[in-house]
Structure 1
Amino acid sequence: MVLIILSHGYIKRVDIYSAFTEGAVEGFKTAIKIMPYLIAIFIAIGIFRGSNALDMFIDLLAPITKLLGIPKEILPLIFIRPISGSGALGVVKDIISYYGPDSFPGVVASVMMGSSETIFYTIALYFGSIGVKDQGHTLKAALISYIISIFITIFICGTFYN
Structure 2
Amino acid sequence: SLNDKKDTATDAMLMFLVLNASGLCFIPISIMMYRAQAGASNPTDVFLPILLATFIATFVGIVALCIKQRINLLDKVMLAWLGGLALIVAGVVWFFARLPKEEVELYSGFVANALLFSVIVMFLLAGLRKRINMYDAFIEGAKEGFKTAVMIIPYLVAILVAIAVFRASGAMDVITRWMELAVNAIGLDAEWVGALPTALMKPLSGSGSRGMMVDLMSTYGADAFVSRVSAAIQGSTDTTFYILAVYFGSVGVVKTRYAVPYALLADAVGSVAGIIAAYIFFS
Q: How many Å separate the matches in 1 of 2:145 and 2:216?
A: 40
3-state SS, counterpart of residue 4 of structure 1: coil
Please state which structure has a larger fraction of its residues in helix.
1
3-state SS, counterpart of residue 101 of structure 1: coil
| Residue 132 of structure 2: aligned partner | 4
Deviation at 1:135, TM superposition (A): 2.1
Q: 1:131 to 1:73 in 2, by over 3 A?
A: same
Q: How many Å separate the matches in 1 of 2:257 and 2:199?
A: 21
State the aligned residue count: 148
Identity across matched positions, percent: 33
| Residue 14 of structure 1: aligned partner | none
**Is it true that 1:56 corresponds to 2:170 in the alignment?**
no
Contact in 1 for aligned 2:179/2:193 (Cα 8 Å): no
| Residue 140 of structure 1: aligned partner | 261
Deviation at 1:4, TM superposition (A): 2.8
* Structure 1 residue corresponding to 2:245, chosen from 111, 120, 124: 124
4+ long deviations beyond 4 Å: 23-27, 65-70
Q: TM-score, normalised by structure 2?
A: 0.46
| Residue 281 of structure 2: aligned partner | 160
Deviation at 1:64, TM superposition (A): 3.9
Q: TM-score, normalised by structure 1?
A: 0.76
Q: Quick one: higher RCO (CA 8 Å, sep 6+), 1 or 2? A: 2
| Residue 107 of structure 2: aligned partner | none
Q: 5 Å matches for 1:8-157?
A: 24=143, 28=147, 30-66=148-184, 67=186, 71-157=192-278
Superposed CA RMSD in Å reads 2.9
Q: Which runs of 5+ in 2 are unaligned?
A: 1-126
Q: 1:25 to 1:118 in 2, by over 3 A?
A: closer
Q: Which runs of 5+ in 1 are unaligned?
A: 9-19
Letter in 2 for 1:89: R
